[in-house]
Amino acid sequence: MSMDTLKATFFAECEELVEAMTEGLSQIATDDWDSETVNAIFRAVHSIKGAAGAFGFEKLVEFAHKFETVLDRIRNNELAIDADVLRIITRASDVLAELVELAQVDPNETPAAYDPVLSELANHADSGETAASSDDLFAPVAFAPLALVIEESVAEFTVEFEPSAAFYRNGHEPERIFASLGDAVQVTCDTSRIPDLAELDPDQSYLAWSIEVHGKTRTEIEKAFEYVDGLASIEFIEKEEPAEIEPPKAVEKPAPPPAPKAAAPRPASTQTLRIDPERVDRLINTVGELIINQAVIAQKIAAGDRSPDTEVASALDDYRYLAREIQEAVMSIRAQPVKSLFQRMARVVREAGEATGKAVQFETIGETTEIDKTLIERLADPLTHMLRNAVDHGLEAPDARAQTEKPQTGTVTLSAAHRSGHVVIEVADDGAGLNRKRILEKAVQKGLVPSDAVLSDSEIDNLLFMPGFSTADQVTNLSGRGVGMDVVKTSITSIGGRVSISSEPSKGSVFTILLPLTLAVLDGIVISVAEETMVVPIANIMETIRPESDDVLELTPSNWVLKVRGSYVPIIPLAPLLGLGRTAPNTGPFILVEAENASVFAFAVNEIYDQRQIVIKSLEGNYGAIPGISAATILGDGQIALILDPDALIALAARESASKPRCVQEA
Amino acid sequence: MTETTSAKESLSEFVSLTAGGQGFCVDIHTIREIRSWTPVTMLPFSEPAVLGVMNLRGAVIPIVDLRERLGLGPTPEGRRNVIVIVTVSNRTMGLLVEAVSEIISVSSDAILPNPTQSVETQPAHIVGLISQEDRMLRVLDITGLLPADREDAA
């Protein structure tokens, strides 16, 4: 990662910071503020200073430092905000914003107001000077650039693509794949293997393609072929272009800030457009409506008795395609690399390491992974907590670690990746792993589980997420904040994600967050439960089954199982669970879902319809949360369908059967 | 919504409606629109007064049977039944009522306090009384009618 890209990031972030600072000041100006407002301004100025130091923007650092000192005094109640002080800090923020602007062109230039404001700040800063610099974690050199992502080099690839017959049987279309590779592709079809007409078997595959792709990384290309893996032979041939392939450098040396080059022109290519997120939201909503509208038209046409006009049908397909295109484009406006978040987290880890006296190395993977901006914002708190936990509880204390064969320095890894329609974020440590015995003891002691409970490892791990669980007997100044993992879980769930733990004794623990790519749409299967139409998110579904009647077995009147390929899966009849009727487990279709802890359940439903992309509509704004229901959506006919939350339903069913064992048999 | 003016102290406007054969009225500022009945989607675990949710131009809003909510039993199906869409404290819901009649303007001194309000068992949905010709209209407090928040997990 070159200095220029780092700088570009810095300036983009500065814009945000300046905005935060200005907003805080306007709150103070309208007399609507508290200590957090001042803290926010302080943090903004502090962050600007810290990063500016790394680039050697001395004027900026000097000014920010003075400004920060004054703010620190306000924060510590040593300086009251009166009209005069407000004027100075407002002017100071203007100068700071201007300095940031100027630094993009010439870091040595200062605005006219620089000196007078600086001296005014100095007047107010006197007594606070020492206090501020003592806790200064961001002395210019201390900003060591952490290991950043190694960007995959963009190269020329030739992909030899030869689909098997199964490829076509599964309904794949080579053209779709080619189209998803973008415009810069050149496709050559090899028809040499097509036999004479007499010998041609229409169910066989005879064609092979050679695709030249320009300007894509290998991962991007692989993504296009993600779903046909195993159905075709795919071979990547990278063109030899040594100039393009840089030897991957793992860590850039924390080089001393380079001497700023004078009058570097502001790079035009990195221009960004700043948009009020609300406008984007409106666009996303409208596009959502457009997709619903398309579904309405499709349904109306399908409902007509006449066989649909092929031209209309294909025009409708185009419509759907375009609507999706627009949707994706709009979504991408909101998408942002997680880099800024990860960089913030680096600081969290550093601070946690210092606070606990543990040597920690922080590694990040997949910083360029893009996710919805709102998700990024709402990930900051849970991630902060998880990383602190990883350092505080995950890694062994220095003396305990010395007794292992592991290196003295513990490693905490934060990674992000896209995995089939989801974003996976992992926080891993190489510490001692979860102490399951102690967790169980703790849970029993707190009355969270009965003392005779026999729990599997994953069930024990999940106790960490229970409200009221906290290994609080070893309160440190980090974890003594009274926030448990249940808060992490709640905040992740509220953005449609899931958290899970895996841990191996003495190897470490991994906390995995699975998030939807966006908050606005999801793929789901439309089902009916006792006359009501509902949607199950496809992410939770393993398969749908229409079983033979002797595959449904009764264990006890309230416990039925479904035999699936030799194993037995508990059946959860949805209608009685949701209070919509008392149908016993029937032969009707089942939906197999996987719970958070990887156990499998079969939902008994009345009917399974088609799979669709649906727009999520929150129920909580106007109504409130409903157990087992995550949200609602609007179907093609304008009716509302509820979106089921399989994990919550499984929990609900478990609670139901635990609280009142049904002794009455419903026939 | 319209801005309040100096005339506020003197006159308030209400929409009068009928539920369970009784006369009620609702502050006109809370009413967004009035619609005819359309089928709703049932919600599991809802209180009996919540009939379900309906689609209001892309928004999902709960529909509350006003009569049932006030303890007067469920509203029978009827052709004149209408849904009054109201918005209070950023929440929108629909009230199923038997009929909506007119807009009335009354001066604030004409709104009498509900004399039964201090009684413990009386729900505080009725915050005032208005005498209109030979009828009595009960002034409804919409906030109290919102479906209770369903956050009862654990």
d(CA A422, CA A371): 9
Contact criterion met (CB < 8 Å) for B60 and A579? no
| pLDDT of res. A660 | 52
Q: Identify the contact set of chain A against chain B, taking CB-CB distances under 8 A.
A: 285, 288-289, 292, 467, 532-533, 578-580, 617-619, 621-629, 632, 634, 638-642
Q: Identify the closest residue of chain A to B153 by CA–CA distance.
A: A627
Kindly list the distances between the CA atom of residue A319 and the CA atoms of A314, A326, A613, A667, in Å, as whole numbers in the listed order: 9, 11, 15, 48
| CB pairs < 8 Å spanning A and B | 81
Lowest mean pLDDT among A101-115, A136-150, A266-280, A623-637: A136-150
In a domain, A254, yes or no: no
Record the tokens describing residue A242, joined without a space.
């040594």
Residue A663, pLDDT score:
42
Determine the angle formed by the axes of helices A3-29 and A339-356, rounding to 10 degrees. 80
Partners of B147 on chain A (C-beta within 8 Å) are 623-624
- Picking from A37-41, A113-117, A152-156, B134-138, which range would have the lowest pLDDT averaged per residue? A152-156
A263: left (phi over 0), alpha (psi -120 to 50) or beta: left
Q: Is A61 within the bounds of a domain?
A: yes
> Is A622's CB within 8 Å of B61's CB?
yes
Q: Find the closest chain A residue to B54 by CA distance.
A: A640
Are A485 and A351 members of one domain? yes
Does residue A631 sit in the same domain as residue A593? yes
Q: Are the beta carbons of A585 and A592 closer than 8 angstroms? A: no
Is B58 within 8 Å of A632 when comparing Cβ atoms?
A: no
Phi, then psi, of A550 in degrees rounded to 5: -85, 5
Please tell me the distance from the alpha carbon of residue A529 to that of residue A540, in angstroms, as a whole number: 17
- How many degrees, rounded to 5, is the angle at CA A657 between CA A652 and CA A660? 115
Same domain, yes or no: A386 and A461: yes
The average pLDDT across A534-556 equals 84
- Both A539 and A594 in one domain: the answer is yes
pLDDT tens track for A164-203: 877 777 777 777 777 777 777 778 888 878 888 887 877 7
pLDDT of residue B31: 93
> CB distance A640–B39 less than 8 Å?
no
Same domain, A555 and A653: yes
Q: Are residues A343 and A477 located together in one domain of the fold?
A: yes
Mean pLDDT over each residue of chain A, to the nearest integer? 76
- Encoding tokens for residue A372? 């919805």
Q: Judging by DSSP bridges, how do beta strands B22-27 and B31-36 pair with one another?
A: unpaired
pLDDT digits (tens, 9 = 90+) for A503-544: 888 888 999 998 876 666 677 899 988 888 999 987 778 888
CATH number reported for the structural domain that contains residue A383 in this entry: 3.30.565.10
* pLDDT of A90 over the 80 cut: no
- 3-state SS class at A110: coil
Identity of residue A8: A
Say whether B53 and A467 touch across the interface (CB within 8 A). no
Residue A258, pLDDT score: 45
On whether the CB atoms of residues A244 and A154 are closer than 8 A, the answer is: yes
Question: Which pLDDT score, from 0 to 100, does residue A421 have?
Answer: 63
Task: Name the pairing type of β-strands A360-365 and A410-419.
Answer: parallel
Would you call A99 exposed, middle or buried from its count of C-beta atoms within 10 A (0-12, 13-18, 19+)? buried
Contact A629 B44 (CB under 8 A): yes
**CA distance to A10, A382, A579, A587, per residue, from A573 (Å):** 54, 34, 11, 11
Q: Same structural domain for residues A562 and A643?
A: yes
pLDDT band for position A305 (50/70/90)?
A: low
Q: Quick one: average pLDDT of A304-327?
A: 79
CA–CA separation, B128 and A586 (whole Å) = 54
Nearest Cα residue to A501 out of A559, A556, A457: A457
Respond yes or no on whether ipTM tops 0.90.
Answer: no
Judging contacts by C-beta atoms under 8 Å, the chain A residues touching residue B148 are 624
Of B148, B145, B109, B147, residue with least CA distance to B128: B109
- The residue from A516, A532, A556 where one domain ends is A516
Query: Which tops the pLDDT comparison, A148 or A19?
Result: A19
Closest C-alpha among A364, A339, A344 to residue A415:
A364
Yes or no: say if B95 and B64 are a contact pair by the CB < 8 Å rule.
yes
Give the residue carrying structure tokens 């949607």.
A535
Search chain A and give the residue with CA nearest B53: A640
Asked if residue A493 and residue A361 are part of one domain, the reply reads: yes
B132 interface with A at CB cutoff 8 Å: no
The answer to whether position A667 is within a domain reads no
Domain ranges of chain B: 12-145
Residue A141 has pLDDT above 70, yes or no: no
Residue percentage of chain A with pLDDT more than 90: 4
pLDDT in tens, A30-63: 777 777 788 888 888 888 887 787 777 888 888 8
**């264990």: which residue's tokens?**
A555
Helix (H, G, I), strand (E, B) or coil at A86: helix
Confidence band for A664, pLDDT divided at 50, 70 and 90: very low
- What is residue B34's predicted lDDT score, i.e. its pLDDT? 92
Position of tokens 């407090």? B141
Give the pLDDT means over successive 10-residue stretches in chain B (154 positions). 50 90 90 89 88 84 90 83 89 91 87 71 74 85 70 37
User: Other CB atoms closer than 10 Å to residue A661's CB: what's the count?
Assistant: 11
**What pLDDT is attached to residue B65?**
92
Same domain, A99 and A167: no
CB A172 within 8 A of CB A163: yes
Residues 79-108 of B with CB under 8 A from A: 90-93
Which residue of A288, A578, A623 is in closest CB contact with B53? A623
Q: Rounded CA gap, B49 and B19, in Å?
A: 13
Predicted pLDDT of residue B96: 93
Q: Are residues A233 and A116 in the same domain?
A: no
A345 and A332 in one domain? no
Q: What is the Cα Rg of chain B in Å?
A: 16
Q: Which of A109, A142, A175 is the last residue of a domain?
A: A142
Q: Is the pLDDT of residue A253 over 50?
A: no
Give the residue with greater pLDDT, A265 vs A379: A379
The residue segments making up the domain with residue A95 are 3-142
Residues A505, A529 within the same domain: no
Token pair recorded at residue A518: 């966006």
Question: Does A618 sit within 8 Å of B93, measured CB to CB?
Answer: no
Nearest residue in chain A measured CA to CA from B42: A532
Q: How many domains does chain A have?
A: 5
Is A165 part of a structural domain of the chain?
A: yes
Is residue A297, in this structure, part of any structural domain at all?
A: yes
Secondary structure (3-state) at B38: coil
Tell me which of A108, A142, A176 is where a domain ends: A142
Q: How much is the pLDDT for A348?
A: 83
Within a domain: residue A266?
Answer: no
CB contact under 8 A, B147 and A626: no
- Of the candidate ranges A116-125, A149-158, A512-521, the one whose mean pLDDT is the lowest: A149-158
Instruction: Enumerate the β-bridge partners of residue A224.
Output: none
Residue A495 phi/psi, 5° resolution? -105, 25
**What percent of chain A is predicted at pLDDT more than 70?**
82
The answer on pLDDT for A19 being more than 60 is yes
Quote the pLDDT of residue B28.
Answer: 92
Mean pLDDT value across residues A430-451: 82
- Residue A462, in any domain of the structure: yes
CATH code of the domain containing A178:
3.30.70.60
Range name among A201-215, A267-281, A593-607, B48-62 with the lowest pLDDT average: A267-281
Residue A292 lies in a domain: yes
Contacts of B42 in chain A (CB under 8 A): 532, 580
Which CATH code for domain B12-145? Answer: 2.40.50.180
